[in-house]
A and B are shown apart, each in its own frame.
Chain A
Amino acid sequence: MAEAKIWVKDLWKTFEPSEKSAGGTEALREINFEIREGEILCLLGPSGCGKTTVLNIIAGFQKPSRGEVLVNGKSVDKPGPDRGVIFQEHGLLPWRTALQNIIFGPQMMGKRLSESLALADQYINLIGLSGFQNHYPHELSGGMQQRVAIARVLVNQPEILLMDEPFGKLDAQTRATMQILLLDVWEKIRPSILFITHDIDEAIFLGDRILVMSCRPGKIMKEFKVTLNRPRDYEVVATLAYLEIKREILNLLKSVEQDHSCDIEANRIG
């Protein structure tokens, strides 16, 4: 396991008792997995199964009740620029233009303005944001907002990207474009990616491996290896290998008794 970039060790999370649930809520139980150098690992699960909690713990936003997360062998205790986070909401600072949002990271790291701008320029081109530098986030479409969100993370040159359903709010067509864009960028700079989604097709299309989570408490049910060739394009969804793995995942989900809040999105067939 020398090449594990992130090692999630025996993670448990129970939320404190509240008005809604007197006994506290067990969100995660015994989560174990690793993310290898340069791979895309998809965490697939229904809404409310705790996949965002896993990401929040790896990002350092929340503390686990038990267990720990090792990044490059070091235990995570707070957020940091080594782990770039991309949220479902773009999370851009609304009073900053796209460019100002992108140079936020370099500025925080104490880089000089000229250096920050040069770095920003590089990623603006890579992500396809040319011409939109001076737009404020509310002036951009959902897809462009997420492009800025990705660029502002990449500009810090993190080895790890944590992506929490980043395309979940986009329309199907934009989502497809963004998926291709992500794979394209990934091929070029090869970060290790944890990609959280509730969309089976998205998980298969992007991932090297898929971990399927179950609901309440969140547990990892099964790991699937995606052996589809890279680089991938949308032709892949019509291949037998693709359909085979999709069938396996669907069967797994069907075999698990699910309550109403645990519906997984499985209606989008290539």
Chain B
Amino acid sequence: MRFQDAAKDARAVVYAGIQADPLVARAGALLAEATAAERLMARAAMNGERTDPDVWRRIFPTLFGEVPGDVAGAGAAAPGAAEAAVNRARAEAILAVSLEIAERGEAARSSYRGAVVEELTARLLARRAAPAAVKRERRVLFDGVRAEIHPYDVTVESDSQPEVYDCKWGARGINADVLNQLDDARAHAADEEISLAVAIVVFDARRSCEMRLDRSTAEHAGTRLIALESLDELAAAR
């Protein structure tokens, strides 16, 4: 088994431009530090009809509550004020970047959202894997097996424990083609006595993803689901 850069067709070249947009990197960096609730807000705002930030502040009052002020004017900060201010600032930054993506328009925003999920996945994985081992848009080749056309969004290319990830904005992106490709890779690696971890990362609620998986007839018992609520699992120490 070996990894290989994917050949770049015209579509891939265009998409590479989106992946390289600093907006994607900024969104990925902010979401890597986010709570699950902030990620839920990002999902909603990036997929919203309105881009007025006050609308979204009202929809998510728990993220944009008032920061405690001075205690009775005594000059001392109220308990938790500093932490609340940090949390509020982070939520504001996530909202701003999410709305910036939403403002790219309906056609572009879906590409941007996909790129953001990939960027976030790569950043979280890089917290526990050697950064140089985390790669994008890579194919996996096996002896005697015809190569898959579609590359994997993110890979961790370790000799001892390689991993491949397919990233999706929504549960609706979970389909038989994706699941079959992941499971085939796992099985082919096993034929070579390599334990290849395969997973699908979905920026959507776990329950919705599981509904999608439950209806799928494609083999996926060996494929791990990492959903919106549990993205930090990607970063946990080995």
Q: Decide whether A and B are members of one complex.
A: no
